[in-house]
Structure 1
């Protein structure tokens, strides 16, 4: 096309708009690329690329053999490369959940640090249990170690939701290994067995194999030995695993029975991991957002007795509560807390301690002297007294909160609780662990 036919396109455009126009219309392009496996053609300006990327500068102006042939880039697709070009020409880029890991890879490859930061910021804001495994798999493929670590840490913090997501079944064996081998994975082994079985079935389907237990075991390979059968309760293992599953061979079942029932564990012939996973604490948050609470939503409270009732859908162990601290200055408190059965008023856990808070802290964890078992669908009461300066409180509460497949239902106390209730007040969270119903004590 005759360049003069464009007319005066420069006068009313900014520098970035002019750059973008020249790229889109391929005006004066002097370098070509073949992108992806299909080798799609993209043209650009070597001067612009060299001015925005040290990698392109070395590639185009360094002491390398020059060629008029298009440069092949098989590991980046055309649409991703065009996003990178658009950023270099006019600092515009469209990052979304589908392309973020691909753009991050390209930005790292060509040393475009601002795009790298934008991608990481996008991931931190948008990562969730449904997409974290997808992001982790792409991070593994593109050798993004920091991103993979961030995903792995997120999965550990949101284990139940992440590992039960459909995206978990899309992970490669290497990624699954990195998750399942973690000692701090906060799941019961029956849930891990369930998820690994589901993953193996999906692997069989992808390979067009019959979904038999023999093929599932083959798909799992050495992953199977990361399922910690030895730490299961013997009765649970016998009634729910050994009896119903053919994934284990008869010899493996005998060895596991011998290990679990025996007293000399070191002599048992067993290949499975025998180390117990580390204990962990889960926080059910009912008010605001822990550690990131908007201070504008808080008001002052006097240090009187706060009362909150609740029920849970499953048997759990409660280890403590989360409390709000003071706002304007460093504050010292005498904290007393009690966990009571609603029907008998029996105290099943308590603490009496000192707490120092700062204006930056907002929330603090207070642990009972000993954890208490809370039964499903029974009503319990938390009483809290903080003697000291006035504290934050919140009016933005949720009465039903699902946390690691445990549903907490918060209720107003039948006694006056200084304003604390199902949707407001103090006690923004409860610290608990899932009751280890299938593990040895």
Structure 2
């Protein structure tokens, strides 16, 4: 600190002459030279003539300032060290003169000594005061590396430069307008006060070469009154602060493309001209944005800011939007990046629809499609119906059809709305038994009673279920299955009696519930006919008509077609089934009725559920019919095939052993099989 104090005393003395300053510089050179262990920076000037770009820019900035200040005398710079070797920037110590003054060998007003110390001499203004003509430029670096002493690179980190602009006015300046300093300087240096003058500072680390470091304090000048005078206005002070910030936060120079610049502005106060208050209560967030960027990305925002009813408010409340979803929307508008997760996809989809950003909508829907499964199918179906996403809704319904049992057992099933529940119950393609489906809607009714804060009684359950109860196909149940459903008391007594009569009596009474079987198979339905001709008078005595068959590919048989009455319209009671011959297991059955019109046409009788028939396995189809004499088929075929997109389906027929009411390969009942591939 001896050489520093000596330099301060020389600069602070207005009466000092140029010769005294030159002598002091010589002493400084000797002092620095004695403390260094390697060659000084100035000694390499003659060898390296290329000025690093960073130093050249800093010199240009500093030379443009006719006024200067200096750090306070108590500024602690001993703790600020630089890791730049002394010879890494040899051109820092080249001699230079101010463009406003004449420099020479005698009394040079601005020079850099061979040791790197910057020698300054006072300059007399027209008013007799003493001020310096240029500010000092310094480099503070902790990570700059040079590939070789002969080749220097400009620092890539803007923290390597310190350009703190400071007005040299006579009055005290508030701390709020003080320039920002890098972290290294905040820890050891105080902000210069008005009237201070800069002194050269050098830092030396133990065992390393002394390296000078300079602080550039560049005041901003305009055409108005001279800084430091009584006529300086607050507007000039604000302008100084603004320009200082622009110098420190020169973010534009760091962004090489428009995409990078727009990404920098995302959720940034820089250039922001509108703020959004998103959410409610403690979760509310204040999000800055830019009207132009929002307007070119959304027709809703364009109307909000530029339409005939445009708002001029600087802050806009959005209480119905989740802050996270709104941030994802802005992120997409600024960067075209969609950040979608399972927890935010629905709120993001809502926000994208509200502000008409179809590209983000598609991204959300695609995400839902990729993650659709039986566990979330009902929840996504409800949301898809709410947002009018028909394609997504169709995919959800398809998933529910294939995995009905898993879907109704998922937690999200009890959270759907009544209309969504009814839309599912109306479908003919659910792959579940009706008794399981009834148990599922009872569970839904319990949750709905809790949501409506009413007692979970049988009467209230029937009330909240509404139409859903009538969409359960009770006639497709067995008697045992229906008995368990009747015990819930959700059905009325009259409904229970009529259904029991339907199960036990012939002819069966009419009921208000659908008796059409459900089939979850998609694609084309095929009907195979095994007879070539039709004849009359086939009687029934309670013995089943049977035929044995096998196929070459896996199919799903959904029903059989039977012959009806020969003259008048008649109703027949029938029990159909398909059994696996090897195991004796009944694969599918149904007890129902059908009406005939007296023609030779066939009449469809469907199974409760599709019956899967495996290739090359032997099965027996049977139909126990009660009613008047009917038509029957003749000239039957042992091998019948039908062409499908999946290939040729071939049926092989054989006689069924035992009592089969006369039906055989050549003639009898069961003329047609209805199936899907």
Task: Name the structure 2 match of 1:90.
Answer: 335
Alpha-carbon distance in 1 for matches of 2:364, 2:397 = 17
Alpha-carbon distance in 2 for matches of 1:105, 1:351 = 58
Deviates more, 1:103-112 or 1:180-189: 103-112
Look up the SS of the partner of 1:33 in the other structure.
Answer: strand
- 1:248 equivalent in alignment to 2:526: no
Q: 1:263 to 1:42 in 2, by over 3 A?
A: farther
Q: Deviations over 1:191-246 (max 9, x none)?
A: 111111111222234445444434333332332121121332345423x333x322
Structure 2 regions of 5+ residues with no counterpart?
A: 1-175, 177-241, 524-551, 554-581, 589-610, 620-637, 654-674
Correspondence 1:83-232 to 2 at 5 A: 83-232=328-477
Look up the SS of the partner of 2:422 in the other structure.
Answer: helix
Look up the SS of the partner of 2:485 in the other structure.
Answer: helix
The answer as to whether partners of 1:33 and 1:71 remain within 8 angstroms in 2 is yes
- 1:33 equivalent in alignment to 2:311: no
Task: Name the structure 2 match of 1:273.
Answer: 513
Structure 1 residue 86: Cα displacement: 0.4
Structure 2 counterpart of 1:46, from 263, 284, 291 = 291
Alpha-carbon distance in 1 for matches of 2:469, 2:290 = 53
The aligned length equals 315
Alpha-carbon RMSD? 3.7
Structure 1 residue 45: Cα displacement: 0.4
Structure 2 counterpart of 1:339, from 609, 617, 628 = 617
Q: 1:5 to 1:25 in 2, by over 3 A?
A: farther
Alpha-carbon distance in 2 for matches of 1:256, 1:354 = 39
Structure 1 residue 255: Cα displacement: 2.8
Correspondence 1:405-420 to 2 at 5 A: none
Look up the SS of the partner of 1:10 in the other structure.
Answer: helix
Alpha-carbon distance in 1 for matches of 2:642, 2:266 = 65
Q: 1:47 to 1:315 in 2, by over 3 A?
A: farther
Structure 1 residue 100: Cα displacement: 1.7
Structure 1 residue 160: Cα displacement: 1.9
Task: Name the structure 1 match of 2:139.
Answer: none
The answer as to whether partners of 2:435 and 2:481 remain within 8 angstroms in 1 is no
**Higher RCO (CA < 8 A, seq sep 6+):** 1
Task: Name the structure 1 match of 2:318.
Answer: 73
Task: Name the structure 2 match of 1:400.
Answer: none
The answer as to whether partners of 2:429 and 2:518 remain within 8 angstroms in 1 is yes
Q: 1:70 to 1:40 in 2, by over 3 A?
A: same
Structure 1 residue 259: Cα displacement: 4.2
Q: 1:6 to 1:153 in 2, by over 3 A?
A: farther
The answer as to whether partners of 1:105 and 1:144 remain within 8 angstroms in 2 is no
The answer as to whether partners of 1:160 and 1:187 remain within 8 angstroms in 2 is yes
The TM-score with structure 1 as length reference comes to: 0.61
Alpha-carbon distance in 2 for matches of 1:351, 1:74 = 71
Look up the SS of the partner of 2:500 in the other structure.
Answer: helix
The TM-score with structure 2 as length reference comes to: 0.41
Look up the SS of the partner of 1:134 in the other structure.
Answer: helix
Structure 1 residue 170: Cα displacement: 1.2
The answer as to whether partners of 2:274 and 2:289 remain within 8 angstroms in 1 is yes
